[in-house]
Amino acid sequence: MADIANLRTSAETGLSTLFETARKGFGSETAISREEAFRFFEAAGLPSRRVEAFKYTDLRAAMQEAAPPAETPALDLATSAVASATAFSAIEAVRLTFVNGHLIRELSDLDRVPAGVSVSPLNEALSRGDARLKNLAPVAQARENPIYQLNTAFLADGALISVEAGAKVETPLHLRFVGAGAEGFSTATRVLVEVADGAEFTLLETHEGPNGLTYQPNDALDVHVGKHAAFRHARINREGDKAIALSTISVRLDDESRLETVNLVTGAVLSRHQIYMHVAGENVNAVVNGAAMLGDGQLADSTLLADHAAVGGVGREMFKTVIDGDATGVFQGKIIVRQIAQKTDGKMKSDCLLLSDEGQMMNKPELEIFADDVACGHGATCGAPDQDLLFYLMARGLPKPIAESLLVQAFVGEAVESVTHEGARAALIGEIEAWLASRG
Amino acid sequence: MLEIKNLVVQIEDNRILNGLNLTVNDGEVAAIMGPNGSGKSTLSYVIAGKEDYEVLDGEILLDGQNVLEMGADERAAAGVFLAFQYPLEIPGVGTMTFLKACLNAQRRARGEAEIATPDFIRQVNAAAEKLEINKDMLRRALNVGFSGGEKKRMEILQMALLQPKFCVLDETDSGLDIDALRIVSEGVNALRAQGRSFLVITHYQRLLDYIVPDTVHVMSKGLIVKTGGKELAKELEASGYAEYRTNEAA
């Protein structure tokens, strides 16, 4: 039988043209290989449902056209866009503001970065060939991912954040990403966070944009958590209703380190949030949570790879999806326990609450275990709100919509309960309440 | 207070109540006893408004108003309260949040202002103290990790807070040890008043030593088959339900 090659789509041809144009502007960076990343991407093209990892999120079908990389916006446009960005805004934090994927110095707190932390804009680091660039892409598997490859190829801006050894940083750093404008665009940002041994650091991340604007953000966060260090991360995706939002977190965890990350999705027509976690050191403790609350036409995909390559790691992964209208939720979670990683304790769970008859949830949990002394498990549930619980609440006087909201809130709330930063936890609960209120 | 007329109820083509009639007067404590499967719990759910049951005929009048036309939440606002046989655990919903939401929902439904937080906390603490419910329980998610006895005490706390007109206690004694039975009963007795009536459903006479009823009804096969005073409970304790089962067979 003859080989049948996929015809290149308009978006794929567009991406090649855009890359050819963009590469003329790239400096002589040696630390990252945009060329290599793009060639790998180009060879396979946009992943379709024929590719197992994208079976439920067909990017080839969803991304009709490749949007051009966004220019740095004028300051007045950026200022007005940021004025309407409210996610995590009530929290006392040091803010780095990105509008259309470009760091806006005037709207950032680069001059009041807390003690023990240093922040360098990525485009400056790229032009001067910062030594830390070699620490980008800390997890090997991520480099094989087409979304991450596109991010590397088109990388436009971001930040390098270093936290000194032993620094216990109380004030969180807030990466505020805002989309603005009238024409469609794409972005490619990369933020590297290096938390040195014994340090503690909290990162907040929000993504917001206007409804009706067709834009394609691609944001990557690379994290290296040193020995006995702690990295806490809370993220909100409140992108506009036409956005195709792609994101990747790659985390390397050293001995005795702690990771806490949660991603709450209410925005974007299509979103895919990828988490690559590499347990490189012994006795790490990782809490990886996600929650998605989706309405008509939305698809949200959470894809997780937890690779345990050291002894005694504890992993708790909890994903909650609430589906209304004809929305689709996707959870793909894979735990690998390498032969050396004895005493690994991993629990992965994906629960879905279906509020309508038209919604659907795709769950794909996988375990690959090569060690013999481990405790690993996964579970997936899917169902409508419990009618007995509903009756119990109504019998106490709560009208049905309020009773149902309370149950939904309790269901999703479990995924944000473990957030250490009190203000972030309260704000995430506020997001959940706002979604429920908007549902009416 | 409450008048049930010719109530006929089925669930999935299975007839449970067969034209039941019952009157509970203002301030009265009425007990319903009866063998398993006689329809006691169904009666409590139908009064409270559970949707799984199909009411084929009859009416339930609370102060002349037919509650069958109301949703469960509206009945609660009108003063109906069901203390569940098996109170449900609701992870993620804090007990205080839940109590306040219920109280305010009922107040709103009656056109009253929401309760001020200090007043609310004072009321909850006062009721909790009487029922020997400690502060830690109030801080936890509703009923999560509570023992059987603690759950029943939490039901009575809700009753004390919501101040309903008509309270149905569905086998509140089940799963209680002697001490818990005493605490729960004292909690109920403290709420006995003019303007409030109780329907106490139980298998055993034991509960009625603590909550002394004004009337006792025997239920069998979806009907009230005998009515008497509190001495009827003692007779049943001595003779058992055999007589009523025989009647059923006949």
CA–centroid distance for B153 within its chain = 13
All residues at 6 or more sequence positions from A95 whose CB lies less than 8 Å from its CB, including other chains: A107, A108, A109, A173, A174, A176
Distance of CA A291 to the CA centre of its chain: 11
* Euclidean distance between CA atoms A237 and A207, whole angstroms: 5
B152/B168 Cα distance (integer angstroms): 13
Which contacts qualify for A422-430: CB closer than 8 Å, 24 or more apart?
A: A423/A90, A423/A91, A423/A92, A424/A88, A424/A91, A424/A172, A424/A202, A424/A204, A424/A234, A425/A234, A427/A87, A427/A88, A427/A90, A427/A91, A427/A236, A428/A234, A428/A236, A428/A262, A428/A264
Q: Check if the beta carbon of residue A389 is closer than 8 Å to that of residue A407.
A: yes
Evaluated on CA atoms B201, B204, B205, B207, the torsion sign reads negative
Give the pLDDT score at B35. 87
pLDDT band at A29 (very low <50, low <70, confident <90, very high): low
Interface test with B, best of A349, A351, A392, A417 (most B CBs within 10 A): A392
Q: How does pLDDT run across A137-196, given as a tens digit for each residue?
A: 999 999 999 999 999 999 999 999 999 999 999 999 999 999 999 899 999 999 999 999
Name which of A387, A388, A402 is nearest B105 (Cβ-Cβ): A402
The pLDDT score that the predictor gives to residue A248 is 98
Q: For residue A391, give every residue at least 6 positions away whose Cβ sits within 8 Å of its Cβ, in sequence order, or none.
A: B48, B49, B50, B51, B72
Residue A388 to residue B88, Cβ atoms within 8 A: yes
Among candidate residues A81, A15, A88, A87, the one with its CA nearest the CA of residue A47: A15
Mean pLDDT of chain B: 91
Best mean pLDDT range from A21-25, A133-137, A249-253, B122-126: A249-253
Q: What is the pLDDT of residue A167?
A: 98
Pick from A394, A402, A409: which is nearest to B71 by CB? A394
| Of A233, A173, A245, nearest in space to A208 by CA | A245
**Which of A21-25, A113-117, A358-362, B80-84 shows the lowest per-residue confidence on average (mean pLDDT)?**
A21-25
Ranking A58-67, B64-73, B240-249 by mean pLDDT, the lowest is B240-249
Contact A391 B72 (CB under 8 A): yes
Q: Does ipTM come in above 0.90?
A: yes
Q: How many whole angstroms separate alpha carbon B53 and alpha carbon B9? A: 7
Q: Which of B102, B103, B108, B162 to mutate to test the interface with A (most CBs of A within 10 A)?
A: B102
What digits encode the pLDDT tens for the residues A355-384? 999 999 999 999 999 999 999 999 999 999
Where are the alpha helices (H) located in A206-323, listed in sequence order?
none
Confidence of residue A5 (pLDDT cuts 50, 70, 90): low
- Please name the residue of chain A whose CA is at the shortest distance from the CA of residue B110: A397
The torsion angles phi and psi of A438, rounded to 5 degrees, stand at -70, -20
Q: How far apart are CA A331 and CA A350, in angstroms?
A: 7
- Nearest-5° angle of CA A225, CA A123, CA A73? 120
| C-alpha angle B225-B229-B230 in degrees, rounded to nearest 5 | 110
Nearest chain B CA: its distance from A390 CA (Å) = 10
- As a whole number, mean pLDDT of residues A330-344 equals 97
Q: Which chain A residue has the Cα nearest residue B46? A: A395
| B75-to-A396, A401, B22, B62, B82 alpha-carbon distances in Å | 9, 16, 18, 9, 10
pLDDT at position A135 over 60: yes
Q: How confident is the model at residue A4 (pLDDT cuts 50, 70, 90)?
A: low
Q: Tell me the C-alpha to C-alpha distance, in Å, between residue A103 and each of A95, A121, A133, A184, A258.
A: 11, 7, 18, 19, 29
Cα(B47)–Cα(B4) distance, integer angstroms: 9
The SS3 assignment for B121 reads helix
Q: Is the pLDDT of residue A28 over 80?
A: no
**Position B248 pLDDT exceeds 60:** no
Q: Which of A318, A388, A390, A398 to mutate to test the interface with B (most CBs of B within 10 A)?
A: A398
CB B241 within 8 A of CB B54: no
Give the mean pLDDT of B14-22. Answer: 94
pLDDT, position A180: 95
Tens digits of per-residue pLDDT, A75-112?
999 999 999 999 999 999 999 999 999 999 999 999 99
A contacts of B82 (beta carbons < 8 Å): 395
Give the Cα separation of B57 and B15 in Å (integer): 12
DSSP A49-63: TTSGGGSSS-HHHH-
Q: How confident is the model at residue B225 (pLDDT cuts 50, 70, 90)?
A: very high
Count how many pairs of residues, chain A against chain B, have C-beta atoms within 8 Å.
77
The pLDDT of residue B241 is 82
Are residues A304 and A334 in contact, defined by beta-carbon separation less than 8 angstroms? yes
Rg, chain B, Cα only: 18
The DSSP call for residue A168 is B
Q: State residue B203's pLDDT score.
A: 85
At B250 the pLDDT is 35
Average pLDDT over residues B45-61: 95
Tell how strand B54-62 and strand B2-11 pair up: antiparallel
Among the residue ranges A97-101, A213-217, A255-259, B32-36, the one predicted with the least confidence is: B32-36
Q: Is A395–B92 a contact, with Cβ atoms under 8 angstroms apart?
A: no
Chain B: give the shortest CA distance to residue A362, in Å: 24
Contact B153, B185 (CB under 8 A): no
Between CA A116 and CA A162 the distance in angstroms is 8
pLDDT value of position A23: 84
How far is the C-alpha of A391 from the C-alpha of B49, rounded, in Å? Answer: 8
- From the list A389, A394, A402, which residue is nearest B90 (CB)? A389
pLDDT tens for each residue of A192-246? 999 999 999 999 999 999 999 999 999 999 999 999 999 999 999 999 999 999 9
What pLDDT digit, counting tens, does each position of A393-427 carry? 999 999 999 999 999 999 999 999 899 999 999 99
Q: By CB neighbour count within 10 A (0-12 exposed, 13-18 middle, 19+ buried), where does A401 fall? A: exposed
Spatial CA neighbour of A359 closest among A303, A425, A295: A295
- Does residue A326 carry a pLDDT above 90? yes
Task: Note whether B242 contacts A: Cβ–Cβ < 8 A.
Answer: no
The strand pairing partners of A190, in sequence order, are A158, A220
With tokens 């009253």, the residue in question is: B112
Whole-number mean pLDDT of chain A? 94
What is the average per-residue pLDDT within B43-63? 95
The C-alpha angle A82, A86, A89, rounded to 5 degrees, equals 100
Average pLDDT over residues B205-221: 92
CB A345 within 8 A of CB A315: yes
Nearest CA of chain B to the CA of A436: how many Å?
A: 15
